[in-house]
Structure 1
Amino acid sequence: MDGGRAVRTGPDGGGVPLERLTALLERLTRMLLAASGEGASEVERTVARVAAGFGARSAMVLVPDGATLTVSLDGRSSTVAVRAFPDVARLDRVAALKPWAHRAALGRTPLAEAERGLAAIDGAPAPYPWWLRGLGIALFTVGFAPLMQPTWYEIGSSALLGLVTAVLAVAAGRWPRLSRVLPLVAAAAVSVLVLEVFARTPAHGGAVLLMLPALFYFVPGDLLSAAAAELAAGFLTTGAVRLVYAVFLLLQLYLGVMLGVYATGRDTSALFDVAARADLPRWAVFLSWVVFTVGTVLAFAAPWRLLPVLLGTVYLTVAVQSGATKLVGEVGGTFVAAVALGALATAVAHRPDRPPRLLLALPGFFTLTVGSLGMRGLTSLAGGHPVRGFHDLLSMVTTVVAIAVGLLLGAVLAERPQPLP
């Protein structure tokens, strides 16, 4: 004891005050929660390993946007509450946190050095300027467009609509009030433009299919699958709360689309969901995944050096899903692709010098497009197509479960035991 404070000999030969260690782990927990848009299952284990590196123990009660953290050291305990909004917007921090946490967990990093390193990661500016992030959102939209309709018109309209959503997303980063209703505002703007400018004739495809690529950046498919995976893994509170939030975001998008219908004076029957005749060559569809992955890197601030690896996961996911779908159907193909993606991401991420699992899996996961089915289902119902609407909603539920369980199974098959130091 030193002046009534609990201390422990650290890697630098000095004491490890409980207060400073608690502050370090609190900051780490907040950063991990802020990057947990794909699930919070790794937060508790990462914090526990870092705590063990300094001779302490940690216990945690998690919810998606917060945690109660208790740190125990030399017979004393300290408890703090941590709040952070879950997202995946800064994958550069996710990439930097993994090697930092590994070094700290080994027990050879002085506390002061660990504090400086974590503060540097937390305070690092975004790797790309705002205009590159906006360009990334636009490319993300264009790359996704052929999945909705393989037509040149879909790509051209998506490019213009993607610029609109990119401007709104970048503006929301500067004005937090806008970020609270960003899905609603973006959906309304896209809906008005599609109904007034792009969906004037059925020959160009349904209005919903023209809207979805521009709204895909806001569609909570990742949250839906993360919620299902957390429920399957036993994280009942986090999974249930995340599921409710994902549904709320879908309803925001749906309401925004309906506001666009009312603003243009159109009838809800304008929300038809019929695909146009395909006129896109195979090479263009193949290259669209390159555009999509580049957009993902820029939009979500992933390190540029990882682009080749992420392209590999995207093409692997697409290839496995396409091949398996021919053998076992759409749901089975999605499940098999999710297993392959989860196993690959987990196996590659095992080494501390490799990118984290979230970063490796995210672009490939986006190709499985679960959230857009929910959006299509809601708009089809509103457009007076109940059979198609309920079919899409049922497909969304089935696909969400298939992806979540597939990713979980792949991770279990490829995971190696990692005991605490």
Structure 2
Amino acid sequence: MREGPDGTDPGTTGPSGDGPDALHGFLRDLTRFMLRYSGEGAEGIDRIVRGLARAYGGRAETVLVADGAVLSVTAGGRTLTSTVSAFPDLPRLDRAVALKTFVERLRDERPDLSEAAAGLRRIEALPATVPRAARLIGIVLFSLGFAPAVQPTWYEIGSTALLATLVATLTVLSERRPRLARVLPLLAATLVSLVTLGLLQPGHVHGGPVLIMLPALFFLVPGDLLSAATAELVGGFLSTGAVRLVYALVLLLQLYVGVLIGVAVTSTPTSALFDGAQDTELSRWVLVGSWAVFTVGLILAFGVPWRIAGWVTALVYLALGVQAAGTALIGEVAGTFVAAMALAVAADLFSRPAGRPPRLVLFLGGFFTLTAGSLGLRALTSLAGGHVLHGFHDLMDFVTVVTTIAVGLLAGAALVPARVEREFPSDRLGTGD
């Protein structure tokens, strides 16, 4: 057998002797898995695929969009190229947790590619860690925990309990019906709007109907997608960021149209959509404790393993504390920027050691507390109600907050660049090995 300078057969890849076809097939399946389940942005998928290719003696190049990729793998003197497509789906974060442990094992132990492929299939086939009934309860708790941040009143909490139960039931029913899931925001917003305007009929004494609807629809508001899209655009992943931005806006518009359908069916004048938050009825401790309820809901709704609940809770309160302190000292925009930056730094640093939760899982709860997406829905409904100045004010707040969060995340990531080098040597600016 002819050997290369490193003692391996040039026609094989890595210490296991797996061929280029096996490496290409595994990386193709891994790319598809990450596009669908990992929640990683373009930078994260690109880094992991390139890094594992190098670990197995090859080289990989990717061109990514939000729901697909072109993968090119060079190994053993051959280059293989394929396209991958997968619709992003993030109802369960237990797969993302298992994936991080899996990638760490591949990086450190480099098992045979056949064993690696079998391990990836096992992760994809993992049974749900949270029963459907518990996930329904989780979505309700998620909304209830958020409700006092919209309006700190008992009426807000009571109405959210009813409306969130309807949204959670519809969400769980849509899980096994892909076509229904694509229009879930529209259906949920229509149902919530009909019940709010036709049954509850909250007047301005309760803050207006939009503020009553928002907590129940918060689970479906794409604030995370909007900020992720902005971050990818700012970071240079233009195609991925643009596609993700359009998809997030489509989801937001579904919520908006659903609310308007309820307005039309109940013959409610659009002027009733004007909102104004009511005075605080809840104590400060209830407001602080509501985020613990929110975190429990997030864990159940997204299938986060309970063993990392402490990490998720810690970063939720970190984001809240930094944002509150920053807002008091330097204003809302600057405070949100500092909070996003601190959240990015903490999630990155805490996720580094082997066995720790991935950055996405640590980051997601804290990110939701920044509530970027709900401002967009408020802006659209205010404009539809004829409150042009109020609506454009909310719209400008929305654009400002989304951009501030995205840039804050980028700034936080820039403070800890060593993570990428330690995990996988970076070759984005060079030729690699």
TM score, norm. by length of structure 1: 0.96
1:229 aligns with 2:231: yes
Partners of 2:202 and 2:208 within 8 A in 1: no
Query: Which amino acid in 2 is paired with 1:242?
Result: R
Question: How far apart, CA to CA, are the structure 2 residues paired with 1:397 and 1:202?
Answer: 26
Q: Percent identity?
A: 54
Query: Counterpart of 1:190?
Result: 192
Question: How far apart, CA to CA, are the structure 2 residues paired with 1:46 and 1:196?
Answer: 51
Query: Counterpart of 1:63?
Result: 65
Deviation for aligned residue 1:308: 1.0
Deviation for aligned residue 1:112: 2.4
Question: How far apart, CA to CA, are the structure 2 residues paired with 1:289 and 1:213?
Answer: 13
**What are structure 1's unaligned runs of at least 5 residues?**
none
Matches within 5 A, 1:164-313: 164-313=166-315
Deviation for aligned residue 1:23: 1.6
Query: Which amino acid in 2 is paired with 1:174?
Result: R
Matches within 5 A, 1:313-392: 313-392=315-394
TM score, norm. by length of structure 2: 0.93
In structure 2, relative to structure 1, the CA distance for the partners of 1:38 and 1:284 (3 Å cut) is farther
SS at match of 2:73: strand
Question: How far apart, CA to CA, are the structure 1 residues paired with 2:202 and 2:275?
Answer: 14
Question: How far apart, CA to CA, are the structure 1 residues paired with 2:15 and 2:364?
Answer: 36
1:52 aligns with 2:19: no
Partners of 2:134 and 2:300 within 8 A in 1: yes
Question: How far apart, CA to CA, are the structure 2 residues paired with 1:134 and 1:363?
Answer: 18
SS at match of 1:67: strand
Deviation for aligned residue 1:37: 4.5
Where does structure 1 differ by over 4 angstroms across 4 or more consecutive aligned residues? Answer: none
Query: Counterpart of 2:35?
Result: 33
1:402 aligns with 2:389: no
SS at match of 1:35: helix
Deviation for aligned residue 1:9: 5.4
Query: Counterpart of 2:12?
Result: 8
Query: Counterpart of 1:124?
Result: 126
Query: Which amino acid in 2 is paired with 1:354?
Result: R
**What are structure 2's unaligned runs of at least 5 residues?**
3-8, 426-432
Question: How far apart, CA to CA, are the structure 2 residues paired with 1:18 and 1:131?
Answer: 45
Query: Which amino acid in 2 is paired with 1:158?
Result: T
In structure 2, relative to structure 1, the CA distance for the partners of 1:319 and 1:9 (3 Å cut) is closer
Select between 406-415 and 153-162 the one with higher mean Cα deviation: 406-415
Query: Which amino acid in 1 is paired with 2:397?
Result: S
Query: Which amino acid in 1 is paired with 2:81?
Result: T
Query: Which amino acid in 2 is paired with 1:315?
Result: Y
What per-residue deviation string (whole Å, max 9, x for no partner) do you get for residues 157-212 of structure 1?
A: 10111110001111110222211111000000000111122233322221100000
Deviation for aligned residue 1:124: 0.7
What per-residue deviation string (whole Å, max 9, x for no partner) do you get for residues 22-43 of structure 1?
A: 2211111011111354622200
SS at match of 2:219: coil
Deviation for aligned residue 1:131: 1.0
Partners of 1:141 and 1:213 within 8 A in 2: yes
SS at match of 1:266: coil
Query: Which amino acid in 2 is paired with 1:93?
Result: R
Give the length in aligned residue pairs: 417
CA-based RMSD of the aligned residues comes to 1.7
Query: Which amino acid in 2 is paired with 1:188?
Result: T
What per-residue deviation string (whole Å, max 9, x for no partner) do you get for residues 349-402 of structure 1?
A: 122221111111000000000000000000011112111100111011111111
Question: How far apart, CA to CA, are the structure 2 residues paired with 1:58 and 1:385?
Answer: 52
Deviation for aligned residue 1:97: 0.8
Query: Counterpart of 1:137?
Result: 139
Question: How far apart, CA to CA, are the structure 2 residues paired with 1:104 and 1:37?
Answer: 20
Partners of 1:54 and 1:107 within 8 A in 2: no
Partners of 1:38 and 1:226 within 8 A in 2: no
Question: How far apart, CA to CA, are the structure 2 residues paired with 1:354 and 1:385?
Answer: 48
